[in-house]
A and B are shown apart, each in its own frame.
Chain A
Amino acid sequence: SAVISQKPSRDICQRGTSLTIQCQVDSQVTMMFWYRQQPGQSLTLIATANQGSEATYESGFVIDKFPISRPNLTFSTLTVSNMSPEDSSIYLCSVGGDRGPLGGYTFGSGTRLTVV
């Protein structure tokens, strides 16, 4: 399965600022997913990042707040913009397995964001 390097692992940010999270994959993948996991909650999909096209956002998430880049098949970034304490969460990127959906998905190690 793919290996994902996600940075930063954690950060404490001031409200009103922005943070960019990076995910680097050791192989080319078509689709990358960005999830959020709020304290005590499960994972919620923010958006799907496709190379060469705009990201597709889930209901409740907008590009102005969570801009995503996907410059190539091994890399993606998620920016959390104009942060507020409500954005404090764990953010994870994910890619599908090389056997397609039956192979399960691999996750980055996550970015633990605290907004103060």
Chain B
Amino acid sequence: RKEVEQDPGPFNVPEGATVAFNCTYSNSASQSFFWYRQDCRKEPKLLMSVYSSGNEDGRFTAQLNRASQYISLLIRDSKLSDSATYLCVAYGGSQGNLIFGKGTKLSVKP
């Protein structure tokens, strides 16, 4: 079983739609979680950290459920510029490194 698993998509949605991504992790010792965004042919960039209490940043809401080892990302009022691959990431590898899911591809259409 992979350490971080997420639906690869692609998710094709119209502008203005609400879309939710889910992710599960297998290592209960993982300490911190993130969502990264990766545009085509670019490096990953931090979108937001994920806290147990849930956190919101504008149109983006992230949620962590430690009991279920489940992470989510909700994007409201999707924009064309949201089109990218969204990577679910856990911190806590053997070297203090990040462990990446394979990513969920989002395509927002006009």
Query: Does A pair with B?
Result: yes
Among B12-20, B64-72, B73-81, B87-95, the stretch that binds chain A is B87-95
Contact with B along A77-116 (1 / 0, CB 8 A): 0000000000000001010100001101111111010000
Q: Are B49 and A45 in contact (CB under 8 A)?
A: no
CB of B98 closer than 8 Å to a CB of A: yes
Give the distance in Å from the alpha carbon of A107 to the alpha carbon of B31 in the complex: 20
Task: Determine whether the beta carbon of A42 is less than 8 Å from that of B43.
Answer: no
- Complex: how many Å from CA A31 to CA B95? 9
Q: Is the CB of A48 within 8 A of B97?
A: yes
Given contacts A107-B44, A109-B42, contact A42 B98 (CB under 8 A): no
- Smallest beta-carbon distance A16→chain B, Å: 27
Q: Least Cβ distance of B36 to chain A in Å? A: 8
Q: How many of chain A's residues have a CB under 8 angstroms from any CB in B?
A: 23
Main DSSP-derived SS at the A contact region: strand
CB distance from A25 to the nearest CB of B (A): 14
In whole Å, how far is B49's beta carbon from the nearest beta carbon of chain A?
6
A-side contacts of B98, CB under 8 Å: 33, 43, 45, 94, 105
Question: Of A92, A104, A110, A112, which is within 8 A of B49 by CB?
Answer: A104
Docked-complex contact B95 and A45, CB < 8 angstroms? yes
Name the B residues within 8 Å of A56 (CB-CB): 95
**A41 contacts partner chain B, Cβ-Cβ < 8 Å:** yes
Chain B's closest residue to A48 (CB) is B95
> In whole Å, how far is B92's beta carbon from the nearest beta carbon of chain A?
8
Q: Residue B32 at the A interface, CB < 8 A?
A: yes
**Chain B residues near A (Cβ < 8 Å):** 31-32, 34, 36, 41-46, 49, 87, 91, 93-103
Can you spell out 8 A-B residue pairs with CB atoms less than 8 angstroms apart?
A33-B98, A42-B87, A44-B100, A45-B99, A104-B36, A107-B44, A110-B42, A112-B41
